[in-house]
Amino acid sequence: MSLQYKVVEDPDMLPCMLLEKEKMSKWRLDLKKMRLMVSTSSPSSSGLGLTNSIKSEEEEDDSSMGGRVSSLPDGNFDLSSFETPSMTVWAVADIIRTTLGPRSMLKMLLDATGGIVVTNDGNAILRELDVAHPAAKSMIELSRTQDEEVGDGTTSVIVLAGEMLHVAEAFIDKSYHPTVICRAYIKALEDALAVLEKIAMPIDVNDRAKMLGLVKSCIGTKFTGQFGDLIADLALDATTTVGVDLGQGLCEVDIKKYIKVEKLPGGQLEDSKVLKGVMFNKDVVVPGKMRRKIINPRILLLDCPLEYKKGENQTNAELVREEDWGVLLKMEEEYIESLCMQILKFKPDLVITEKGLSDLACHYLSKAGVSAIRRLRKTDNNRIAKACGAVIVNRPDELQESDVGTGAGLFEVKKIGDEFFAFIVDCADPKACTVLLRGASKDLLNEVERNLQDAMSVARNILKNPKLVPGGGATELTVSATLKQKSSSIEGIEKWPYEAAAVAFEAIPRTLAQNCGVNVIRTMTALQGKHANGENAWVGLDGNTGETADMKELQIWDAYNVKAQTFKTAIEAACMLLRIDDIVSGIKKKQAPGAGPSKPTIEQEGDADNEQIIPE
């Protein structure tokens, strides 16, 4: 494939685009010299130390490279020898480029604590990298922002941002002003979002089969893609459970606050399930005297201690008589008894507090047949309140009947492994839930949790904005073809960066083809031919086989929110980095130990206006 660009004949206008073949060969040659070779090994008796080294494949220096890429003794990535921020971003994008698509490679990471992580999640990989170059740090922050905003597309946004800077490098070499390139990129972004809106297809969120197919296609690129049906079921059940209809077509889904993922090693992954309620690692305070199983419990949630209230400041009491000590103890007992009586008036079956619970309070509660749990986390208490309809109370004397939670169907304490877990499940209308994951090892469970979080984010995005766009690179190819057609109507020198942005969108399907191991040139030529007339918007690349196919028939979709956010984040980040003309360090150099203060220098002769007389 060779994309020919028009060369401006006007001598006042510089030739603005390189041929795609020459451009790619130049960058590939540079990347071979700058490729990041990451080797990790833990310190041991064999003398091997941890090294995250970035090596050059050739020993000789190249002046156009700005020096070799070196590694620091502490394992940090030293990208300071890269000449421009765009070269740095391209190098970072090249690290995770192979993790895109269902045929992606895995990365084995050694974290700071010595643990090993095997994943192909872009955000998880970049999070473990410790880089020194500011532009590389900006890319890592970009991936984290994408993950927090929409939960998916972390690899795509880095690849697309790197490609946008890659194609802009030719214009920088031809002395184009960065502002001109940025204006063209912003125009391309506006037109790309308009194309997205045009090809987006609405979906009925109540159609479970379509929702499952969408979530499954989004997580099919993950390491646990073979368990796609199970993870899609778990994600969809969890998000629909905590979804709150705000009216006027709006839906609020807070997966971070009201969905808890509990990982328990053991069993099989197929044993994982969504609990219509809350599960937490606690046991009743007095196991022998308090019930561990209650059907249809009345639950009270407290945010106060059921023990004698101590003074906020240091308190001293002087006892004159021996009987005074007994009086103090009796006052404490009466205070705790009054607290318990206020609670027992509402006939609860289970009392849960985030603070402490004294032995005397346990005695009164167990005597009345009430089970109690103390020192529960605030987050778990909030989930219980959402699940069973209870209200967290700060003072027992302010309790009301409406504060008692009656929505739970079962309270039970079970022993799993060596620990006790409390279950408040079978809730009538829960707005909080727990996803219980079972698996063979902690490493597998950690990877499943990462994929589950992505799946829940995709389901949340669809519930908030029920629109779909085709996956498999079909959306990017449609956007690219449309922008190429519109570039002929752009006047001035912005036309060429605009057309380059259109070419940059092809990085996603091209990377998918590379990871499939097929002939990239033939595949991209076939796809471009089908999209050249602006039609066939659903034709993309089957990530498993590498063949061109109709994404609608294969049921390969992307969420509209994810794709739109990917385009916005990548292009805006590229524009920000293009406008950087210098990197200034605000860190002062440390003087060598024992060295005296540096002497001020005298201005050279000829600068009489600025000359200073410095006393000896």
Catalytic annotation, residues: 121, 154-155, 454
β-pairing, 278-280 vs 299-302, is: unpaired
CA angle 534, 536, 538 (to 5 degrees): 125
Secondary structure element (H or E) that encloses residue 503, with its range: helix 495-504
Six token digits for residue 378: 């605030």
Helix (H, G, I), strand (E, B) or coil at 251: strand
What is the Cα–Cα distance from 377 to 354, expressed in whole angstroms? 6
| Alpha-helical runs (H) found in 505-541 | 507-516, 520-531
Cα(35)–Cα(82) distance, integer angstroms: 12
Please state, in angstroms and rounded to a whole number, the distance separating the CA atoms of residues 554 and 540. Answer: 10
User: Would you say the C-alpha torsion 236, 240, 242, 243 has a positive or negative sign?
Assistant: positive
Cβ distance 529 to 122 under 8 Å?
A: no
Of 376, 381, 371, the closest CA to residue 349 belongs to 371
| Burial of 322 per CB tally in 10 Å (0-12, 13-18, 19+) | exposed
What is the rounded CA–CA span in Å between residue 451 and residue 143?
A: 16
Pull the structure tokens for residue 60: 């000789």
SS3 321: coil
